[in-house]
Amino acid sequence: MHAVRRGAAAIVGAAESDLGHVADGMSPIDLMAQGTIRALADCGLTLADVDGLFCATTQGRTSAMSLAEYLHKPDAYVDSTIVGGSSFEIHVAHAAAALALGLCSVAVIAYGSTQRSVGRKQASVREVNPYETPFRPFLPASAYALAASRHMHQFGTTRRQLAEVAVAARQWALLNPAAWEKKPLSIEDVLGARMISYPLSVRDCCLVTDGGGAIVMTTTERARDLKQKPVPVLGFGQAITHASITSMPDLTETGARASGDAAYRMAGLGPAEIDVAALYDAFTINTILFLEDLGFCPKGEGGRFVEDGAIAPGGRLAVNTNGGGLSYCHPGMYGLFLLIEAVRQLRGTCGARQVGGANTAMVHGNGGVFSAQASVVLGSMATL
């Protein structure tokens, strides 16, 4: 057990940078800085208040250094932990700890990617693994496809159930003006789409977009005086179970079980008390595994759980209300966008896609190939 208290830190500002296909020549650090200034404006703080920088990008090995230079923050406390898409959920935990220890007083967590503009191969250089690379898995999709094949074999999960996840995400995206995808999607569209790595078609796979953004964190005490309703960090947890898919201990159960348990325990909440779920949907199988591993349904039941629009607008659980990585945006690493959407839901500012009376959110990040799992439970001030 650690000494970071439930609700001691809060997210006070949140904003996206430009999304989709950004202007020519834009850099990942440009987008981090743009997101930072927008997130600061969102909460009424200024760049002068910032003394903590947390960031990661696949397009630079030393992004904290680059961002400190760009924003001229020589004295900032920095952390550029990078474990894939869940890095930003881990940054929330690290920022909460740094705030508790007084290592910084206003922390910015920032992300930027120009993956669509520069191309996927440029944006994310694949490491050579002599035990996997010769077999030419199309990574990361093939790793998730292998996990899906196992779930289908063990639990009878179907491609149609996977497609339900993509269709639900699209229905949410149609309620989000910032979403990349603007047209309806049917189960037949998903099933008939170009196959990438069986059983995953291109519509089972996340988008390839540009984008970035930032969130601002401070102590909940200080947060009370700022412009927006604070969103306290109630709990967090992480588990890094493997790096390559060959070493995943069980292809049907992720580290979300452990990271979620830790986050729930710290928050004093369980899945039945979660109003909004933001689950890292790089592929449709992710949502199904995370619904199971985070306790929203029993192991093996995820496919049946999502049937008949159960996670679409008006369904039994609000999941990925911005449209997710499948239909809203997915610039290489998606974890920060989960946090931004959860904050907006808990503030009650989501407009057409607002979940009525949302007071708690489970934000679950995924990095690598089901490798680095990180969960954050957020709440409204009413939950303190």
Partner 1 sequence: MSGSDPARSPLAIYEDWLRQGKLAYQFSPAAGRAVFYPRLVCPYSGSTELEWRISAGLGTVHATTVVHPTQGAPYNVALIDCDEGFRLMSRVEEIAPEAVRIGQRVAFRVHVPGGEDAPYPVFVPQGEG
Would you tell me which residues interact with partner 1 (CB under 8 A)?
Answer: 130-132, 134-138, 142, 145-147, 149-150, 153, 194-199, 244-247, 251
- Shortest gap between Cβ of 368 and partner 1 (angstroms)? 15
Q: Which amino acid is at 343?
A: V
Closest CA to 177 of 347, 20, 342, 357: 20
- Shortest gap between Cβ of 284 and partner 1 (angstroms)? 14
- Shortest gap between Cβ of 33 and partner 1 (angstroms)? 35
Q: Which amino acid is at 370?
A: F
- For partner 1, the closer of residues 5 and 126 by Cβ is 126
Sheet holding 211-219, edge to edge: 77-79, 52-56, 106-113, 211-219, 9-16, 231-240, 372-379, 360-367, 276-279, 318-319
| DSSP 8-state class, residue 153 | H
Q: 335: how many CB neighbours lie within 10 A of its CB?
A: 30
Which residue in the list 77, 111, 264, 280 is annotated as catalytic? Answer: 280
Closest CA to 333 of 367, 364, 362, 363: 367
Q: Which three-class secondary structure state does DSSP give residue 257?
A: helix
Q: CA-CA distances (angstroms) from residue 383 to 230, 270, 360, 378?
A: 11, 13, 8, 9
How far is the C-alpha of 62 from the C-alpha of 286, rounded, in Å?
29
**Number of residues that make up the chain:** 384
- Shortest gap between Cβ of 331 and partner 1 (angstroms)? 22
Residue 222 CB burial class (10 angstroms; 0-12, 13-18, ≥19): middle
HSE (side-chain half, CA atoms, 13 Å) at 132: 15
| Beta bridge mates, 365 | 374
- Shortest gap between Cβ of 303 and partner 1 (angstroms)? 16
Closest CA to 374 of 91, 9, 4, 57: 91
| DSSP 8-state class, residue 4 | P
- Shortest gap between Cβ of 51 and partner 1 (angstroms)? 39
Q: Which amino acid is at 132?
A: E
How far is the C-alpha of 94 from the C-alpha of 102, rounded, in Å?
12
30, 112 Cβ separation under 8 angstroms: yes
Known catalytic membership, residue 70: no
Which residue in the list 111, 144, 264, 328 is annotated as catalytic? Answer: 328
Known catalytic membership, residue 264: no
- Shortest gap between Cβ of 128 and partner 1 (angstroms)? 11
The residues that are catalytic are: 280, 328
